[in-house]
Chain A
Amino acid sequence: MKPGVEAIWEWLDAVPDPEIPVISVVDLGIVRGVVWHGETLEVAVTPTYSGCPATGIISMDIETALRDRGITDLRITTQISPPWTTDWLSEKGRAKLMDYGIAPPRAAGGPECCPRCKSTNVAQISRFGSTPCKAQWRCTDCLEPFDYFKCI
């Protein structure tokens, strides 16, 4: 009757991030827990940045996706501790970001290479970008600007 937790994780892995739709909310590492409490399903979600306006939309998208699968007794909780880190981005998610043109985060603090021409000659334009989670960089070989997913 009740779908298993593994199946639910798979369904959530099909819910796209509203700002960067090529990766899922699971790839992003913001789904922190999926637990059945009796007949109630609890999904714990952590915000990326505390003011990220996508957070509310993400909870709504998760709720919609699970209701479509027939789960009606659903509680979405916000969990802020431990704080979200880009270490939680999945390997699959990192590869998808690169294909999409967003350089994935690196502990070294900057992109490994230009997501378009793969040159390692890159320079920062600004520490902030089009969303709280990104910074603006440019390739000094192909000269294209690109987004870098900030490492936090």
Chain B
Amino acid sequence: MLCSGGKDSIYAASIAMQKEEVVCLVSVVSQNEYSYMFHTPNISLVPLQAEAAGLPLISIHTEGEKEKELDDLECALSQARERFGIEGVVSGAIMSIYQASRLQRICRDLDMWCFNPLWYADQEEYMASLIGRGFSVLITGVFSAPFDESWLGRRIDRETLEALKAVAARYRITLTGEGGEFETFVLDAPFFTRKIVVESASVTYRNYRGVYRIEKARLVEK
């Protein structure tokens, strides 16, 4: 399971677990904050999610040079095959042809299966299901108007979803933030045996770009 720590990859993992055996998480930590493939706030906390899910994690760092980072991903997937015998990869791609086609090519070259169970999913149904099934998701980055500082650290609940719907309708962005308008981090999921509690976080924000950086977090019993 390719995991960025955000809602899409964790939700996709939950679908994959219903149909296949998920044996490990793979995360790619990019140093390039403009990487279209991998950059996301709080990716350094994916190890805590892996622990919460009781799954091993293969985490690799990449400089984030445009196509070189794909070689790094390929290395990570090869490692996952050697260590855990994976036969395929699942991602949380929803609409990004850029991300999906690059992952598909890597999987083809490695002769692995590639699945994107949220691909072109109905966005409203997906977001409602995320809340309804008990995923605890924080908005940890905003990168577009009209998101102001108040969105940072906000939990995606029914009220937030209604607010997002209003924004999506008015500003022609997707409800799921598919264009990178906002990023998320998952604190709890139905398949987590423990949940993550944020103990401290810092906020940086300027001109519709901001990050809620989780400085300290721990696992607690559910």
Q: Do A and B come from one complex?
A: no
Q: Which residues of B contact A (CB under 8 A)?
A: none
